[in-house]
Structure formats: structure tokens, C-alpha cells
């Protein structure tokens, strides 16, 4: 028997332009194109997973084929709009590029575009994961894409634009959707929690946003899983335990130990994290993010930062520390012993941060030599 339950990621999928989070540059351009009647025949949405590519394509289709359209401020309850949202519109055809990637299927599409739309003003083809099309399929699409009938619009979405033929990209208006900032993800999750009557701490939401890596869909799926695990009250330790994350305080402590060169403290924290079943690969990524924050702080403050446990570190030291952590990535991910490789990566990064570049030493010695005669002259005076 069906329960009628709908996962949060589908229930809270954006339905209008105003619902789209973190992609203001895309929304504004599409709205202006509709308002000024400058609607192109082909669009390409590029970006990481869960950032709103397909959702924005559907919303754009609604704006084009709504009653009295095209108009950006369409009514979500308009029957034409609802049919697109439900997937029952005959004029909005969604195609999965991964499973419809043969040249024969594209030839069928090319024959189909000649027929006029049945209800709306346009016939709109949304091809998701377009980079999965074969080269032959791409080539079969080229002519139609360059000179489609006036009633046809194409909207492509891809997570890997490098695999899309340049000849296809040049025929489209390209929009790059960026990872959604953690603050906007947290705001959206707070709104969902209030509507779903879920009590969740700010720290828990911050951990979910950190885990999502800029993907709203990932954040909503994680939040949905946490509701299943915890019920109506979610705390930070729950999120950390389920996903093997390390708390922000522990990351800061480990970063401070790296800055201080405290080998014993580094090994102790790694031991504790490993015994608690924490994801060391994820910890390395979070640690890099923390050190990067200190690096940006040092650049902003003219060459020094004390964000790592109060230990003053120069821009050069922080750059070497971050580079050392980055070099240890492959060993931690692919090595036989994740823990040992993680410890080695941290200790090597500490040593790298304490070494000095020969050119910076020469500069400092030159500066000291220049100052020495002046100091001697002052003593004589």
C-alpha cells in the first residue's frame, strides 16, 4: 500500500524563479530574456550536481508555455504550468542523455521537431546529462540545433561540459551554475525544518551544509535521512555520528596543532578520530578548507594570520602547509592504510610549513644587510 510520502528533495524542488537559491545571475538573465522577448533557441546549463540545472530548465519551460506566456511571473496553479510540473505536458519533452544517447534516437528527435506544439506556444526539449550523447548523436543534432523551427527550444544540462562538443556549445547560450554557499543552504534548510516541524540546531545545519559541498539536493537528502534517524529533533552529534564527520572544534584543534608543530597532539587527535569511526578523507578536505581560510586571512592582513590556534603564520608558511596537505590526498584516498597515510600527510605538511624558500631567505638577508650600516651610523651619532 502506498504511503504517499514524498522525499524532501522532491517536495521542496523549486517551482518558480523566486524559489531558485544561489543562482541569481542565471535567474536574472532568463527573466530579462523573457521580458525583452530575446529568447534564444538553445541553452546550456553547466554546474555541479544538485545546484538547480534541471529545475531551472523546467521553470524556464513553464515561463515559456504558461497561459498567456511567455512570462517570468507565471501562476504556479495555471493548468499548463501544473502539467509541466507533473511531467504530463506533451510539449515539454525531458530526455535522459545517459540512456538516450544513440544516433538513432537523436534522428527520431530531429524528425519530431518538425511537428507543431499541441497546447503551448513552444515545443521544448530538455536533455539532461547531455555530455553522455555519443559523438555521432552530437553530430546528428548539429544542423537542427543551429536552425531549429521557430516553435522549438532546446535546454541542455550537464555536470561535465568538457565532454560536450565545442560545436554544440557554440550554438547555445551557456549558463554556469555555481556551488551554493553554505549560508544559503542553511537558510533553506531552516525554512524546510520550520514547515516540517523539525527542531534542528544551527550546528547540525552547518554540518549538513558542509557535507553537501554546495549541492542543495544533497543537503536536502542528508536532512531527510537525519529526520529518519533522529525523528523530530536533530543535534550536531547525530549528524557527525551518521556521516563520520569531525566537529568544527576538533578541526580547529588539529589545525592549531599543525601550526604549532605539536606532533604528539596531531597523533592523539588522529587516533581519537579513527577510534570514533570518523571519515579521514573528509577530515583532510575540511582541514584544507580551514587552512585556506587562514591563508586568505593572512593575505588580507598583509602577510600574517593567527587563526590557527593563535600561532602567527606567514602567507608563505600557510601556502606550504596547504600544499603539503594537498599532496597527501592521493595517499589517504588510495593507500593501503588510511590512518597511517593520513598521519604521514599531516606530519609532512608540518615540516613543509617550517621549511623556508631560498629566495625568501636571500631577500631577508639582503634587507638586514641594508639596515646594518644605518644601525651602525646611528650608534656613532
CA dihedral 270, 273, 277, 280 (to 10 degrees): -60
Q: Which residue has the cell 541553452?
A: 43
Beta-strand pair 123-128/152-158: parallel
Pair 355, 335: CB distance under 8 Å = no
User: What does the alpha-carbon distance between residue 339 and residue 114 come to, in Å, rounded to a whole number?
Assistant: 60
Per-residue pLDDT at 102: 76
Per-residue pLDDT at 379: 52
Helices H, strands E: what count in the chain? 18, 9
List CB contacts of 294: < 8 A, sequence separation 6 or more. 255, 305, 307, 308, 313, 318
Closest CA to 216 of 184, 194, 250, 172: 184
**Coil, helix or strand for 370?**
helix
The upper half-sphere exposure of residue 217, i.e. CA atoms within 13 Å in the direction of its Cβ, equals: 11
Q: Taking the model in full, what pTM does it have?
A: 0.82
In order of their start, the domains of the chain are 8-176 (3.40.50.300), 182-243 (1.10.8.60), 248-358 (1.20.272.10)
User: What does the alpha-carbon distance between residue 205 and residue 166 come to, in Å, rounded to a whole number?
Assistant: 40
pLDDT digits (tens, 9 = 90+) for 352-373: 888 765 666 677 778 777 776 6
Three cell numbers, residue 206: 552547518
Residue 208, phi then psi, degrees to nearest 5: -65, -45
Q: Which residue has the cell 515545443?
A: 123
Mean pLDDT of the chain: 88
Q: Which long-range contacts (CB under 8 A, 24 or more apart) does 141-145 make?
A: 141/106, 141/109, 141/110, 141/168, 142/167, 142/168, 142/171, 144/109, 144/110, 144/113, 145/41, 145/42, 145/171, 145/172
- DSSP state letters, 139-207: HHHHHHHHS--TTEEEEEEES-GGGS-HHHHTTSEEEEPPPPPHHHHHHHHHHHHHHHT-EE-HHHHHH
**By mean pLDDT, which of 296-300, 308-312, 314-318 is the weakest?**
308-312
Pair 138, 165: CB distance under 8 Å = yes
pLDDT digits (tens, 9 = 90+) for 147-191: 888 899 999 999 999 998 898 899 899 999 999 999 999 999 999
User: What does the alpha-carbon distance between residue 26 and residue 46 come to, in Å, rounded to a whole number?
Assistant: 11
Per-residue pLDDT at 360: 65
Residue 109 has pLDDT above 60, yes or no: yes
Closest CA to 98 of 29, 18, 157, 19: 157
**Coil, helix or strand for 125?**
strand
Per-residue pLDDT at 146: 82
Query: Residues 123-148: what's their mean pLDDT?
Result: 86
Q: Which residue has the cell 515559456?
A: 64
Amino acid at each position: 500500500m502506498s504511503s504517499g510520502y514524498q522525499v524532501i528533495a522532491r517536495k521542496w524542488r523549486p517551482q518558480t524563479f523566486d524559489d531558485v537559491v544561489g543562482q541569481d545571475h542565471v535567474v536574472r538573465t532568463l527573466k530579462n530574456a523573457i521580458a525583452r522577448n530575446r529568447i534564444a533557441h538553445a541553452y546550456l546549463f553547466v554546474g555541479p550536481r544538485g545546484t538547480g540545472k534541471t529545475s531551472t530548465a523546467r521553470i524556464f519551460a513553464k515561463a515559456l508555455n504558461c497561459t498567456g506566456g511567455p512570462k517570468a511571473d507565471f501562476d504556479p496553479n495555471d493548468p499548463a504550468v501544473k502539467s509541466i510540473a507533473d511531467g504530463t505536458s506533451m510539449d515539454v519533452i525531458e530526455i535522459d542523455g545517459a540512456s538516450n544517447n544513440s544516433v538513432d534516437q537523436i534522428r527520431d528527435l530531429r524528425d519530431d521537431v518538425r511537428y507543431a506544439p499541441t497546447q503551448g506556444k513552444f515545443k521544448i526539449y530538455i536533455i539532461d546529462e547531455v555530455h553522455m550523447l555519443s559523438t555521432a548523436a552530437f553530430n546528428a543534432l548539429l544542423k537542427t540545433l543551429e536552425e531549429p523551427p521557430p516553435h522549438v527550444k532546446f535546454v541542455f544540462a550537464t555536470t561535465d561540459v568538457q565532454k560536450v562538443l565545442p560545436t554544440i556549445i557554440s550554438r547555445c547560450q551557456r549558463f554556469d551554475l555555481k556551488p551554493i554557499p553554505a549560508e544559503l543552504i542553511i537558510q533553506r534548510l531552516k525554512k524546510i525544518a520550520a514547515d516540517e516541524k523539525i527542531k534542528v540546531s544551527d550546528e547540525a545545519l552547518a554540518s549538513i551544509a558542509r557535507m553537501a559541498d554546495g549541492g542543495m539536493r544533497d543537503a536536502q537528502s542528508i536532512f531527510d535521512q537525519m529526520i529518519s534517524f533522529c525523528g523530530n529533533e536533530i543535534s550536531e552529534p547525530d549528524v557527525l555520528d551518521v556521516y563520520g564527520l569531525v566537529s568544527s572544534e576538533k578541526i580547529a584543534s588539529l589545525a592549531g596543532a599543525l601550526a604549532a608543530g605539536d606532533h604528539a597532539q596531531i597523533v592523539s587527535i588522529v587516533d581519537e578520530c579513527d577510534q570514533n569511526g570518523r571519515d579521514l578523507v573528509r577530515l583532510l578536505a575540511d582541514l584544507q578548507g580551514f587552512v585556506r581560510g587562514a591563508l586568505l586571512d593572512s593575505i588580507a592582513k598583509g602577510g600574517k594570520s593567527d587563526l590557527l590556534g593563535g600561532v602567527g603564520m606567514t602567507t608563505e608558511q600557510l601556502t606550504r602547509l596547504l600544499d603539503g596537505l594537498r599532496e597527501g590526498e592521493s595517499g589517504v584516498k588510495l593507500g593501503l592504510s588510511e590512518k597511517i597515510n593520513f598521519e604521514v600527510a599531516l606530519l609532512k605538511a608540518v615540516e613543509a610549513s617550517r621549511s623556508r624558500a631560498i629566495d625568501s631567505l636571500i631577500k631577508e638577508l639582503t634587507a638586514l644587510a641594508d639596515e646594518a650600516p644605518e644601525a651602525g651610523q646611528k650608534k656613532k651619532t
